[in-house]
Each structure stands twice: as C-alpha cells, then as structure tokens.
Amino acid sequence: MSMESTQSAACCNLPAVVSKGYEPKGDYITVDGMKTYATGPKDAKQGILIIYDIFGFFPQTIQGADILAFSDKEHPYQVFMPDFFEGEAADISWYPPDNEEKGKLLRQFFQTKAAPPKTLPRVPKVVKELSESKGVEKWAVVGFCWGGKIVNLSSMEGTPFKAAAACHPAMVAGDDAPGITIPYAMLPSKDESKEDVEKWQAGIKVPHIVEWFPDQLHGWMAARADLEDSRVKAEYERGYKTLLNFFHKHM
C-alpha cells in the first residue's frame, strides 16, 4: 500500500483555513517543564503529539494542530505541541540558507538546539505525563521538517505511538526505515530528495503511505506555508486531510 492515496478513506470537514490573523482555539499548558500548545476536546481519549519544525510555534502550525483536533466529530483528538526549543527556535529568515551566514547559523542550530539526542528522551516523558494528566489512551505523532526525523526515531520498538507521520521531513535516511514498528505516513515536498525517500520506502516493513506534494516547497504544512497562495492553501488542506485519514485508519 506504499503509494496508495488516502484521499477518500474518511470524511473530514476541515474548518476554514485562515490566511492571516489566525486565532488559536487552544491554550498553553506546561508539560515536562515546556510550554505546550494544547487543543481539542478535553474528553477525547485519543491524542496526537506534534513535533514542530525548527521555527517553533507559528500560526500556520498552530492552525494545523487545531485542524487535527476539530475536523471530525467522530474522531476527536486532544492535540499537543511542546516547545522543545524552549523559546529559542530558529529564525525563519535563515531559510533558505542561500548565503554563508545563513548556512552557518542553521548548522549551529542543528548541532546544538536541534540535535536529536537532546529531544528524543523527552518524547516518551511528554506522552506519559499527558496520558496520566489528560486521560489520553492512544497516541499518534506527526513531525514537520526536523520533527519528521524525531518522529522517525520515535517510531521504533517500544514506541508509545500507534501511528506516525512525517511531513516535508528533514534528514530522511534509508537506514531508519527497517526499525519502524508502526504504520507510517510520509508526505514529501518537491524539495525532499527522491532518492532518499525511495531508499527509506524500500526498507520500511510496516503499513505505510508515501504521498508526494510535488509542487510544494519544504515547509508548506508548517511555518513556511504561504496560505495567501490559493494553491498552497489547497495543498495544505489536502495534507491535513491525508494525516487525518491515515490516523483514523490506524488508531
């Protein structure tokens, strides 16, 4: 089922996507010492953990969290997005790294703040704390860009998640794929390496989809989404429908 489209698998009524001035539906709580965006019906027993991109809390990413939480009354989710960078996210002006200074700043960020060993141990702690405090019984996880790598590495044996997804993922590696133990959706953009994605896809052994968004740039479902562009907005919506359908099926 690796290239199977998920577009008609479930009926989701996405709320209207706002191009500017988005007003969040959730609020902020503290989880494992981190400021965390929390949204969705508080009695929902299923949860989605979002691991944002390197730019942290952005209106487009927060709007995405609300879409996942409220699009389907028959499949409500509590959705949580922790601030793993603790107020020190990357500056979006550094991307794309089209000069030496931007490249240097991004490399430094990935080597320090965004090094996966700093984040990976916190993921199960966050899930455990939220399961106990919010009554969530089953979990999915989705990551954007850098968050996609964290999701990949958090989907191995012993994972607390039932399903996982990575959108415009960074650092795609074929060597990661054989260890993944849960259903997995990957949504690459035009900027991801086709060769890297194909190597990853060849190695994964669990139910999965790879759904390309070939005219979208890296970041179109998160901080770099230009929602004033009608095509980007349509593909942003399609991306979130794809996630919802996949999670509905596999949770």
Task: Identify any residues that bridge with 35 across adjacent strands, giving them in sequence order.
Answer: 30
Q: What DSSP state is assigned to residue 34?
A: E
- Name the helix (H) or strand (E) containing 143: strand 138-144
Does residue 5 surpass a pLDDT of 60?
no
Calculate the CA 184 to chain-centre distance: 12
Percent residues over pLDDT 70 in the chain: 95
50's torsion region: left (phi>0), alpha (psi -120 to 50) or beta?
Answer: beta
Interatomic CA distance for residues 69 and 78, integer angstroms: 6
Domains of the chain (ranges; CATH) run 27-250 (3.40.50.1820)
Copy the structure tokens of residue 29: 């709580």
Copy the structure tokens of residue 130: 């939220």
Residue 15: per-residue pLDDT: 85
Instruction: Please report which confidence band the pLDDT of residue 53 belongs to, taking 50, 70 and 90 as the band edges.
Output: very high
Q: Tell me: the pLDDT tens digits for 74-97?
A: 899 999 999 999 999 999 999 888
Instruction: Please report which confidence band the pLDDT of residue 16 belongs to, taking 50, 70 and 90 as the band edges.
Output: confident
Torsion angle in degrees (nearest 10) through CA of 79, 95, 121, 27? -30
Does residue 174 surpass a pLDDT of 70?
yes
Interatomic CA distance for residues 83 and 155, integer angstroms: 20
